[in-house]
Amino acid sequence: MYHEIDLEKIELKSEPPAKEPDRQYYFMAKCREWVREFEQKNGRSPLAFTQTFGCQMNARDSEKLTGILRKAGFVEAENEQADFVIYNTCTVRENANLKVYGHLGRLKHEKKQNPKMRIALCGCMMQEPEVVEKLKKSYRFVDLIFGTHNIFKFAELLAKTLESHEQIIDIWEGTEEIVEDLPALRKYPFKSGVNIMFGCNNFCSYCIVPYVRGRERSRKPEDILGEIKTLAEEGISEIMLLGQNVNSYGKTLKDPISFAELLRRVEEMEGIARIRFMTSHPKDLSPELIEVMKESRKICRHLHLPLQSGSTRILKAMNRKYTKEQYLELAERIRREIPDISLTTDIIVGFPGETEEDFLETLDVVQRVRYDNAYTFVYSKRTGTPAASMENQVPEAEVKSRFDRLLAVVQENARAQTARFADTVQEVLIEEVNEHDPSLLTGRMSNNLLVHFPGDPSLIGSIQKVRLESCKGFYYMGSLLPK
Ligand code: 5AD
Ligand code: SF4
């Protein structure tokens, strides 16, 4: 297997290979050489700190970054007091963007104490030309800037950065390439994300993702299944299939395959007990998928189905390609076919032109679907998206008031939905020792709810039966059932 390649055996005197991923392993060996020299000079290994902003996709990308750093000999640091710091950025809303600048301000300070520190930025925010201009002008202390399309070149860029004193900037406008077989360091030994596709072709009018993550590209099913097989052999029992729009998976492959069919094949993999996926677009959710979920023993009882707005007029302006009625019909059908499923969603408040009537339509959908949970966002203007130049931006005070009203309804529903599982016995994957009380363990049910219960940490990573005893609003307290 590629990620087990012995870097010592790579001949660094010869030219770097042109073929990927061999080229990146060559540069990992180069970085390793730099690490050796560092260790000789300083009597310790260099420390690296990776901070992730944004979604599951970014979290998975960061595992790839840390996998490469670890392979090169860096040791993970707990905070920014490190020799190498990398921020994997997000720009989906302005807040995400501001957070990164906040962190950079503090990092500048840190670098004054430790001038040899190297700082790198990557991820979605770097795909925005205005951001890179600003960094070039006012953030000269950043050593390396790269984007989403060439993240597979991290080892090569890192090797260059470690040797150079110039600011290195390498941003690509897009790519057709999917480089397989790079190392990744997983955060959990029992669950893992698996990318099935990259990019997005939907162009929702508020969303910056298609601009920063590029066109939709699906991985070949055999590559995905091969990765899952390796993960299972390494002890992973839960996988999360990741894509911006998993329901359109496989349509552009040379041998097209549907997402439902991919799920069928994953279901057959030995060692995998649970399958999750993220994110579904309602317009592409097929009856075949509902059928596969219903029949499956492994696909978790959770579906995240972003609504964004309940008003057909606003949905049209958002370019979502479904109406309020179509969405409701789909949600009802899912609830009918799979009654114990947990439905969650994303909702944006204050899209340009949203009136009180439009907002009431959103509340109406929320009431009717009775979401188990909903992530609510205030509309954020993203430069370059069609919505940014729309007139009728909604006044801030109005948005704030709608947001608060929506949140109250969402929470009321979530409480009621959570309570419906009281006194049942559920299988949970035990994930960690409880953050606040070390005598308790925290486990996740198939429907994504958390339950805390007394137990021994040796159970972490296993699936156990737990009785749900008391509902605490959005989670449960429970007790382990004897084996
Ligand atoms: N403003 C507010 N929320 C947004 N989202 C995406 N773009 C924006 C924006 N410009 C939300 C959507 C999406 C989630 C990941 O982020 O609800 O589903
Ligand atoms: Fe943020 Fe979207 Fe990029 Fe994920 S894909 S990191 S949510 S901008």
Instruction: For 45-96, write each residue's pLDDT tens digit.
Output: 999 999 999 999 999 999 999 999 999 999 999 999 999 999 999 999 999 9
Please tell me the pTM assigned to this model. 0.94
CB of 211 sitting under 6 A from ligand 1? no
Q: How confident is the model at residue 482 (pLDDT cuts 50, 70, 90)?
A: confident
- pLDDT of amino acid 180: 85
**Is ligand 1 within 6 A of the CB of residue 50?**
no
Residue-wise pLDDT for 339-351, tens only, equals: 999 999 999 999 9
469 CA from centroid of ligand 2 (Å): 37
Distance 399 CA to ligand 1 centre (A): 15
Residue 369 has pLDDT above 90, yes or no: yes
Chain centroid offset of residue 194 CA = 10
pLDDT confidence of residue 483:
74
Closest ligand to Cα 96: 2
pLDDT band (50, 70, 90) for residue 1: low
Confidence label for 177 from pLDDT (cuts 50, 70 and 90): confident
Q: Can you tell me the distance from the alpha carbon of 122 to that of 145, in angstroms, rounded to the nearest whole number?
A: 6
Q: Which ligand gives the minimal distance to the CA of 95?
A: 1
Q: What is the mean pLDDT of residues 426-451?
A: 97
- CA distance to 95, 107, 263, 303, per residue, from 294 (Å): 38, 49, 12, 12
Ligand 2 site, residue 122, Cβ cutoff 6 A: no
Residue 287 and residue 111: Cα distance in Å, rounded?
A: 55
Q: Does residue 93 have its Cβ closer than 6 Å to ligand 1?
A: yes
For ligand 2, atom 4, the nearest C-alpha belongs to: 55
pLDDT one-digit tens code per residue, 223-232: 999 999 999 9
Contact 424, 468 (CB under 8 A): yes
Q: Is it the case that residue 319 has pLDDT exceeding 80?
A: yes
Chain position carrying tokens 């994997």? 88
CA 137, CA 132: separation in Å to the nearest integer?
Answer: 9
Tell me what percent of the residues of the chain surpass a pLDDT of 70. 99
| Ligand 1 contact via 380 beta carbon (within 6 Å) | yes
- 90 Cβ closer than 6 Å to some ligand 2 atom: yes
Looking from the CA of 376 toward its CB, the CA atoms found within 13 Å total 23
Interval 191-220: pLDDT, tens: 999 999 999 999 999 999 999 999 999 999
Q: Which tokens is 162 given?
A: 């470690």
Residue identifier of the C-alpha nearest atom 16 of ligand 1: 92
**Residue 102 dihedral angles phi and psi, to the nearest 5°:** -60, -50
Ligand 1, atom 14, residue with closest C-alpha: 346
Atom of ligand 2 nearest to the CA of 55: 4
pLDDT of residue 4 exceeding 90: no
Verify whether ligand 1 is closer than 6 Å to residue 92 (CB atom). yes
Q: What is the DSSP string of 1-59?
A: -GGG--GGGS-TTSPPPSSTTHHHHHHHHHHHHHHHHHHHHHSSPPEEEEEE-SSHHHH
Region 93-101 average pLDDT: 96
* Ligand 1 center from residue 301 Cα (angstroms): 24
Q: Which ligand is nearest to the CA of 351?
A: 1
Centroid of ligand 2 to alpha carbon of 32 (angstroms) = 31
Asked if residue 131 has its Cβ within 6 Å of ligand 2, the reply is: no
Q: Is 100 in the pocket of ligand 2 (CB under 6 A)?
A: no
Helix (H, G, I), strand (E, B) or coil at 125: helix
Spacing of C-alpha 279 from chain mean position: 10
Atom in ligand 1 nearest the alpha carbon of residue 382: 10
